[in-house]
């Protein structure tokens, strides 16, 4: 089983301050994102993001910046990444807003540090922006 599937929300709740149910929901959103990358299926990861989400970062030396559909197009243009591993390094939660730093290894040979902002709307969490660095 991939490490992102092994994220224990209860362990995160003790590590990261915030409502355990919110930590679990944020963890689920991030798992959805990683699963879409692992399977090479943008449709799987889309529910993790608000339709108005944005992306900014450099990949292969080129700036990728704009609407989140750029990420979905990139995922669709590439094969699955079954070796992709993801883990939550940090969560900062304040009622209806949160940030999460996610470390991803082996996505087409890249290592990513993702910084997500999330919003809780009508009881559901979604990613509003992804800013990333590749190694």
Asked if residue 70 has pLDDT above 80, the reply is yes
- Considering the chain, what percentage of its residues have pLDDT values greater than 90? 83
What is the pLDDT, as a whole number, of residue 12?
55
Alpha carbons 135 and 112: distance in angstroms, whole number? 6
Tokens 């009622």 sit at which residue? 95
Question: Average pLDDT, stretch 23-32?
Answer: 96
Residue 3's Cβ-side half-sphere holds a number of Cα atoms within 13 Å equal to 12
pTM above 0.85, yes or no: yes
Asked if residue 1 has pLDDT above 80, the reply is no
DSSP state of 117: E
In order of their start, the domains of the chain are 3-134 (3.10.450.50)
Alpha carbons 125 and 127: distance in angstroms, whole number? 7
- Tell me the torsion sign for CA atoms 46, 72, 129, 35: positive
- The whole-chain average pLDDT of the chain stands at 90
């Amino acid at each position: 089983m991939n490490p992102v599937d092994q994220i224990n929300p209860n362990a995160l709740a003790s590590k990261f301050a915030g409502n355990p149910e919110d930590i679990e929901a944020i963890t689920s959103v991030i798992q959805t994102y990683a699963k879409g990358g692992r399977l090479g299926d943008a449709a799987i990861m889309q529910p993790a993001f608000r339709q108005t989400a944005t992306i900014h970062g450099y990949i292969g030396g080129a700036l990728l910046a704009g609407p989140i559909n750029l990420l979905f197009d990139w995922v669709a243009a590439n094969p699955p990444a079954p070796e992709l591993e993801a883990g939550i390094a940090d969560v900062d939660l304040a009622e209806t807003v949160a940030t999460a730093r996610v470390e991803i290894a082996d996505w087409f040979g890249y290592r990513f540090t993702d910084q997500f902002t999330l919003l809780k709307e009508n009881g559901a969490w979604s990613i509003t922006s992804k800013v990333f660095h590749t190694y």
